[in-house]
A and B are shown apart, each in its own frame.
Chain A
Amino acid sequence: MLLKRGTDLKYSDITPRDVYVNRRKFLYGLGLAGGLALAGKSLANLVFPSGRAYAAASLPGLVKSSFSTTEKITPEQVVTTYNNFYEFGTDKGDPSKNAGKFVTSPWSVSVEGEVAKPRKFTMEEILKLAPLEERIYRHRCVEAWSIVVPWVGYSFSTIAKLVEPTSNAKYVAFESYFDKKQMPLWGRAGIQLPYVEGLRLDEAMHPLALLTVGIYGETLPNQDGAPVRMVIPWKYGFKSIKSLVKIRFVKDQPPTTWNITNANEYGFYSNVNPKVDHPRWSQAKEVRLPGFFKNTPTQMFNGYGDQVASLYNGMDLKKNY
């Protein structure tokens, strides 16, 4: 159904705000009265606190993408209130509470390293480098939960081609914004900051790798990695770095935050793989949020195997987890 709507329609246009606010009140009452019995299927429609940490700007004229899944999109409230963004606290509810005052404008991303034309892109430039697409991707967290998100952006290769990587460029290193003043809970994160991530060059240049500037037809909320982030749908969520400030094309495999934290548990590749368990839990199944039961089978490469499996031909994926 969503595929048929006009491209300039915002999610909030479909249901007027006062209607859905009232519906929430009604459902909230129901939720209290019904308790557990009412849970299950209707959970998706139940109340969550408002997830927007700031006034989002709508991103009109989005192009549909053939990469999109037709699976049911996760309610926006879930995606904006259940976050892993350790700079703003380690509880899932922390980022939406604490990232509200995070200043994301002005913003620029420096693209440098083994490239012919290093340069800084302002956020305004990034928004105009290519037509913005809506890509509905499955997003699988290493913690065995998953969501389906309508991201907005374009392939990372677009920006990469503009800086012309040299033949020395074998990997891409990404770095998040980090500011102790704006992220007072950073000390609790237990991970080295700024957050860094990395991809092999061919992974980064794969059309599925998305430079992301929005969700649900609007600019990214702070807790979801505003104003610009990466989304790598066939890898565990932590590979999809948030609030990007630096992109560096490099010769050698770059260090990555969770690999630094615990190399036995988080490899450089971290492709979604139901056959390779996390040392502390199985990766065979996932819980699709919002929901109670961890009974959705996890797919190899998160279901993107047809597109990306060839990147790993001949590689031992148990060893290169």
Chain B
Amino acid sequence: MNRILMNKWTKVVVFALCLVPIAVLVWQGPSGWGANPTQYLEHATGDWILRFLAITLTVTPLSKIFGLKQVVRFRRILGLFAFFYACLHFSIYIGLDQVLDFRGVWADVVKRPYITVGFTGFVLMIPLAITSTAAMVRRLGFRRWQMLHRLIYVSAVAGVIHFYWLVKSDVHLPLIYAAIMAALLGWRVFAWFSDRGRKPARGTPARKEPTTVPAS
């Protein structure tokens, strides 16, 4: 399994798969986007942000639980695609929905809680995208880099709240996303506690920082 995951082509395949949602939207074309194409595109890209965030957050549990260490190779690309779909989503909102009315956009961000929280989730992804390179990991130091990248938890929660507050009455889909995110974040809390329990008592030196930069 690890050999397949380490194959250099696997990354290409993952990259191509991440492009499928946008490819489908382009292939559908305006005729496939229905009577309210802007809303359709907003919802479609919004769904994919949440899905990519969830998939990205699945990488670490997957590697730890099943010992599939090599899946971590794909974490950066998955996270960047979450950011890519977030950029699309935000651009569609600004360009089509608000028709470049930046005052209107800012009024929405300030006044509408669901937009405030969605916008926050998006903005918090920007530093993560910028510091996603190996050079940035080195510059920040792994511990600090890791701390910073925990912001993805906030973005994931913000994304779900954004969706939940947006729907008028049928909340079953937002609740499904909420359950998935809760499981993924809950696993981390659980892992953190059980990890702490296994650690020796205070006063012993902390674990050594990895000397080499982990493969993305």
A126 to chain B minimum Cβ distance, whole angstroms, is 29
Asked if B47 CB lies within 8 Å of chain A CBs, one says no
Partner of A290, one of B36, B99, B113, B168: B36
Q: Is the CB of A287 within 8 A of B38?
A: yes
Q: Is the CB of B37 within 8 A of A191?
A: no
Q: Which residues of A contact B8 (CB under 8 A)?
A: none
Q: Which residues of A contact B112 (CB under 8 A)?
A: 279-281
Q: Which residues of B contact A151 (CB under 8 A)?
A: none
B interface residue count range (under 10 / 10 to 19 / 20 to 34 / 35 or more): 20 to 34
CA distance A281 to B96 in the complex (A): 16
Using CB atoms, name the residue of chain B closest to A49. Answer: B34
Q: Is the CB of B96 within 8 A of A293?
A: yes
Interface stretch, picked from A10-18, A28-36, A54-62, A228-236, is A28-36
Q: Is the CB of B30 within 8 A of A46?
A: yes
Q: Is the CB of B170 within 8 A of A188?
A: yes
Interface of B, helix, strand, loop or mixed by DSSP = helix
CA distance A282 to B111 in the complex (A): 10
Flag B145-182 by CB within 8 Å of A: 1 or 0 each.
00000000000000000000111111110000000000
Q: Is the CB of B29 within 8 A of A190?
A: no
CA distance A28 to B27 in the complex (A): 12
CA distance A189 to B169 in the complex (A): 7
CA distance A39 to B166 in the complex (A): 27
CA distance A282 to B97 in the complex (A): 12
Partner of B34, one of A27, A34, A35, A92: A92
Interface stretch, picked from A78-86, A112-120, A164-172, A268-276, is A78-86
Q: Is the CB of A293 within 8 A of B38?
A: yes
Partner of A292, one of B96, B114, B170: B96
Asked if A130 CB lies within 8 Å of chain B CBs, one says no
Asked if A289 CB lies within 8 Å of chain B CBs, one says yes
Asked if B91 CB lies within 8 Å of chain A CBs, one says no
Partner of B172, one of A47, A188, A281, A294: A188
Asked if A50 CB lies within 8 Å of chain B CBs, one says no
Flag B16-40 by CB within 8 Å of A: 1 or 0 each.
0000000000110111101111110
> Which residue, B34, B38, B97, B112, has most C-beta atoms of chain A within 10 A?
B34
Asked if A295 CB lies within 8 Å of chain B CBs, one says yes
A interface residue count range (under 10 / 10 to 19 / 20 to 34 / 35 or more): 35 or more
Given A190-B170, A293-B96, A294-B99, is A48 in contact with B35 using a C-beta cutoff of 8 Å? yes
CA distance A47 to B28 in the complex (A): 11
How many A-B contacts if CB must be within 8 Å?
A: 95
Asked if B133 CB lies within 8 Å of chain A CBs, one says no
Asked if A93 CB lies within 8 Å of chain B CBs, one says yes
Q: Which residues of B contact A43 (CB under 8 A)?
A: 30, 37
Q: Is the CB of A82 within 8 A of B30?
A: no
Q: Is the CB of B36 within 8 A of A145?
A: yes
Partner of A32, one of B31, B38, B39, B170: B31
CB proximity to B under 8 Å, residues A71-118: 77-78, 81-82, 86, 90, 92-93
Using CB atoms, name the residue of chain B closest to A47. Answer: B31
Q: Is the CB of A35 within 8 A of B99?
A: no
CB proximity to B under 8 Å, residues A110-150: 143, 145
Q: Is the CB of B169 within 8 A of A90?
A: yes
Asked if A38 CB lies within 8 Å of chain B CBs, one says yes
Q: Is the CB of A294 within 8 A of B34?
A: no
Partner of A282, one of B107, B166, B168: B107
B121 to chain A minimum Cβ distance, whole angstroms, is 17
Q: Which residues of B contact A292 (CB under 8 A)?
A: 37-38, 96
Asked if A253 CB lies within 8 Å of chain B CBs, one says no
Asked if A261 CB lies within 8 Å of chain B CBs, one says yes
Q: Is the CB of A27 within 8 A of B169?
A: no
Mark A residues whose CB is within 8 Å of B. 27-28, 31-32, 34-36, 38-39, 43, 46-48, 77-78, 81-82, 86, 90, 92-93, 143, 145, 188-191, 261-262, 277, 279-282, 287, 289-295
Q: List 30 A-B contacts (CB under 8 A).
A: A31-B32, A32-B27, A32-B31, A38-B30, A43-B37, A46-B30, A46-B31, A78-B35, A81-B34, A82-B36, A90-B169, A92-B34, A92-B35, A92-B36, A145-B36, A145-B39, A188-B170, A188-B172, A189-B169, A190-B170, A277-B111, A279-B112, A280-B113, A280-B166, A282-B104, A290-B35, A292-B96, A293-B38, A293-B99, A294-B96
Additional 17 contacts, C-beta under 8 A, given A92-B34, A287-B36: A28-B31, A31-B30, A32-B31, A34-B29, A36-B29, A78-B35, A81-B35, A82-B34, A86-B170, A92-B35, A189-B170, A261-B168, A279-B112, A280-B114, A293-B38, A294-B38, A294-B97
